[in-house]
Amino acid sequence: MKICPTCRRTYADDGLNFCLEDGSVLTFAPADGAPTVVMEHPRTTDPTPSAWQPQNPPAQSMQPKKRSSKAWVWVVGIFAVLILVCGGGFVGFFLYFASGTNSNSVANKGTNNSSTATKANTFTRTTPTPPAPEKGEPKEVDLSGWVEEPTAFLETDFTDGEFLMTSKQKGYYYVLVAKDAEVSDAGVARVTLRNVDDADADMGYGLIFHSDMTPLTNDYAFLIDTKKKKYRVVRHEAQQEKILTGWTSSSFIREGSDLNLLEARDSGEKIELYINGQLANTIVNKQGPKGGVPGLYVGDGAKIGFRKLEVVK
């Protein structure tokens, strides 16, 4: 039997040379024996954090604390030997590797958090001119009546003819749709919008069209990201968001807080999607609704200003 001269723990394995607790060199125990020390078993923990999904309250998770370990003693000893054998070259490589790892961590952290710096707001009063519709006169939806009481997820306001809509939490999106049956089954739906603070919004923001009067039940969404100058198209079905066209770059999108005009125009079994009067994409309307009301979509905490939500029958 062996014993640790520092912590006095004993070990039945005579082949063990170092103490598992503090790394001291073991010695053989006296013949008359010493009291046996029973080692505490480590607690079993589950370090996996809870998942966080959009449209549900964020799940909170706590990372359990790890037990202290004396392994650093061995690490320091090994590095001391390597420094003596290999010289300063190994140290330089280690510092370079550690520096690269730290840079990646900071970059990832910046990507996963909301931007705190914003460009100066420049309200562009010039509204993009839409292409002439092929059907009747446009009917404007009154957005002044869309203001709702603020919640933990949504904040709305109407000022100077602009409806301001903010999805207040990162990782969530919010949709409002028209309730007036007179604007349903429109051949053309369009809206003018701007990213008020030029904020990051990975989910995008934009126009809902062909929607049921119950939001997120059955609709299409034509979304843009002005910071990255990209657009995407999705379809909602029973509050599930299905991607029809992934993020696609477009030179038609105006950057910053400038106004952008989005338009969805029915063309038989197809729907043509325009950005600032330029045809950006065409989707085939096979699984989605054939008609419905227009609406607005915001996501990821960005504050979006909407002007002139219109339909043309």
Sheet containing strand 27-28, edge to edge, reads 10-11, 2-3, 27-28
In whole angstroms, what is the distance from residue 160 CA to residue 304 CA? 14
DSSP lists the bridge partners of residue 192 as: 261, 307
Distance, in Å, from the CA atom of 39 to the CA atom of 23, rounded to the nearest integer, reads 15
What angle do the packed helices 88-112 and 71-86 form, to 10 degrees? 130
Decide if pLDDT at 114 tops 60: no
Q: Which residue has the higher pLDDT, 153 or 108?
A: 153
Whole-number average pLDDT of the chain: 74
pLDDT at 135 > cutoff 70: no
pLDDT of residue 93: 38
Among 18-22, 209-213, 216-220, whose mean pLDDT is lowest?
Answer: 18-22
Pairwise pLDDT comparison (5 vs 236), residue with the higher score: 236
Q: What is the pLDDT of residue 12?
A: 82
pLDDT band, very low/low/confident/very high, at 26 (cuts 50, 70, 90): confident
| Rounded Cα–Cα distance for residues 142 and 42 (Å) | 64
Contacts of residue 79, defined as CB under 8 A and 6 or more positions apart, other chains included, come to: none
133 pLDDT band (50/70/90 cuts)?
very low
**C-alpha to C-alpha distances, 255 to 218, 260, 263, 303, nearest whole angstrom:** 30, 9, 18, 15
CA distance 55 to 273: 27
Q: Once rounded to an integer, what is the mean pLDDT over residues 37-47? A: 40
Give phi and psi for 246, each to the nearest 5: -70, 175
Instruction: Look at residue 144 and tell me whether its pLDDT is greater than 70.
Output: yes
- pLDDT category at 48 given cuts 50, 70, 90 is very low
Predicted TM-score (pTM) of the model is 0.58
The pLDDT, as a whole number, for residue 79 is: 63
Taking alpha carbons only, the member of 4, 63, 53, 60 closest to residue 29 is 4
Segment 148-172, tens digit of pLDDT: 999 999 999 999 999 999 998 888 9
The pLDDT value given to residue 75 = 58
Query: Which pLDDT band, with edges at 50, 70 and 90, does 118 fall under?
Result: very low
Rounded mean pLDDT of 247-265? 96
Query: In this model, does residue 123 exceed pLDDT 90?
Result: no
Q: Is the pLDDT of residue 106 over 90?
A: no
| pLDDT confidence of residue 165 | 97
Using a pLDDT cut of 70, give the percent of the chain over it. Answer: 65
